[in-house]
Structure 1
Amino acid sequence: MGGVGMFAVALGKHYFGAEVTTTVSTGKMERAGQMGAARVVDYTKETYTEVLENTADVVFDTVGDAEIYRVAKHNSTAVSVAMLPDRNGLDHFRHESAPLSLFGKAKLAAAKLIVGAVGWYLTRGFRSKGIRYGYVIMSPDGSDLEKTFNPLLENGTIKPVIANVYPFTTEGVQSAFKELMAGHVAGKVIICVKD
């Protein structure tokens, strides 16, 4: 469970009042419990789709696994921040101020067709169970984040997990990216710009 997963578990438990189940690798099981998970499945030792089959009312995917539909109950909800967007979701990847000619109408239409077809294929399991599926494109909003997180941070309900802190130097930034690219970071990697 990385930084996004840790905050998702904590928000699920402490903000939405949900009973949270999560999947993690062996070394992150205790941390998942500390963040608020009621049930933790070690995906390196168990096939999570079998262990959790048809148990979830809501599924939040952070890794892009099309098999998560197996965990969701019939007629439930699943969202992902890592799978393919639907064909219209591609419009959100282009900044409003960027001229369309940079991508080109024909290339954009072709990309939408391909992404739509692949996305339709990947989400066939969701449709077979009547699961409402959506791809979430995040647009951070400082005031929303403050309103949601600040009370939980200030009263100690959520304690951010920091994996490592690197200096804002060429070597520090390179080391931070190497750690991130290696994967399976437990928490957030910080680049300290100012002391």
Structure 2
Amino acid sequence: MRAFVIEGYKKDPIFIERPMPRIRDNEVLVEIHAASINPLDAKIRKGELKLLLPYDMPLTLGNDFSGTIIEVGKGVTKFNVGDEVYGRPRSEKMGTFTEYLSVHEADIALKPKNLSFEEAASIPLVGLTSYQALHDILSVKNGQKVLIHAGSGGVGTFAIQLAKEMGAYVATTSSEGIELTKSLGADKIINYKSVNFEDVIKDYDAVIDSVGGETLEKSFLTVKKGGKIVSIAGTPNGRFAKEMGLGLIKKIILSLASSKITGLEKKYDIKYTFLFMKHSGQQLDILSELLEAGTVKPTIDRVFPFEEAKHALAYTETGKAKGKVILKLR
């Protein structure tokens, strides 16, 4: 089977032939129809996460997918051959830019009936990230104010809709995607090219950051005392290292690297959480209900044929995509 891989960090991805995967008792074999490209793929390719997640090479890229089950393990209870599913495989099973994938049944859900394979493939990573940020970490309640950075990006387009569904007042930052974020329900849109968001956003309950750097640091000026900031682009901190059960050396490295953010936490009395999204078929079931009801909808920028995976990855890395970029395999 064909797979789109890297043979080393910072190397250009290539197509190679890999053997068909074998499934374990609690796994299913999926014929991939579509896969989604995420900024996470670029970070992995460049080696930015190798401290947290060292991978063996060659490494098949890709973190979410949709497809059809063609084989089930003897311990599988939730799915059958022929089921159309979507999901985000656990980290050690990463690699969805391929024709076939073995995946644990706990990591997938039935594809929403009203979505195409391409639309379904756009959801798992950004959907789970948004749900875990808004529900699990921020515990957003009706009437609270949330700032979501990069509103026209993959996570932003989903998080805006989910936050509105939870009853939040949503502000977002954008430039080229202002009309898109408005159509998704954002209440306040800040064109970050002409306005400093930290000058107009004050006393918010929470922030979701997908930019990092100065954007993350300035976000501490927008949240009220006791508020929360979640980032998927900032530096993992010592608290994250402890939760992940990382060794002492990695804990020390991350604590030093995140010392500036830790200082801002203490100065402004705001809790900072680095979110590394967890696989969850159960949470995908919840998102499926919202998707089938039309409460939240996929936002797709472009669909590329699998043969053009290299161009698709390069386009994603420009940061210009509004919504998700998809690889179509079938």
In terms of fraction of residues, the more helix-rich structure is 1
- Identical positions, percent: 31
Tell me the residue number matched to 2:304.
Answer: 166
TM-score normalised by L of structure 2: 0.50
Aligned runs of 1:39-50 on 2, under 5 Å?
39-50=188-199
Aligned counterparts of 1:127 and 1:91: Cα–Cα separation in 2: 19
Tell me the residue number matched to 2:240.
Answer: 89
Kindly indicate whether residue 298 of structure 2 is the aligned counterpart of residue 151 of structure 1: no
- Give the RMSD, CA atoms, in angstroms: 2.0
Which of 255, 258, 268 aligns to 1:119? It is 258
Kindly indicate whether residue 30 of structure 2 is the aligned counterpart of residue 30 of structure 1: no
TM-score normalised by L of structure 1: 0.82
Tell me the residue number matched to 1:60.
Answer: 208
Tell me the residue number matched to 1:20.
Answer: 170
1:123 partner SS: helix
CA distances 1:26-49 after superposition (whole Å, capped 9, x unpaired): x21111111121111110110111
Per-residue deviation at 1:91? 6.6
Aligned runs of 1:96-107 on 2, under 5 Å?
none
Per-residue deviation at 1:118? 2.3
Per-residue deviation at 1:57? 0.6
Unaligned runs of 5+ in 2: 1-151
2:255 partner SS: helix
Per-residue deviation at 1:110? 3.4
Aligned counterparts of 2:262 and 2:281: Cα–Cα separation in 1: 32
- Determine if contact 1:92/1:137 at 8 Å carries over to the other structure: no
Per-residue deviation at 1:143? 2.2
- Determine if contact 1:66/1:123 at 8 Å carries over to the other structure: no
Output the amino acid matched with 2:295.
T
In terms of fraction of residues, the more strand-rich structure is 2
Unaligned runs of 5+ in 1: 95-99, 101-107
Per-residue deviation at 1:142? 1.9
Tell me the residue number matched to 2:21.
Answer: none
Aligned counterparts of 1:118 and 1:160: Cα–Cα separation in 2: 35
- Determine if contact 2:154/2:322 at 8 Å carries over to the other structure: yes
- Determine if contact 2:240/2:273 at 8 Å carries over to the other structure: no
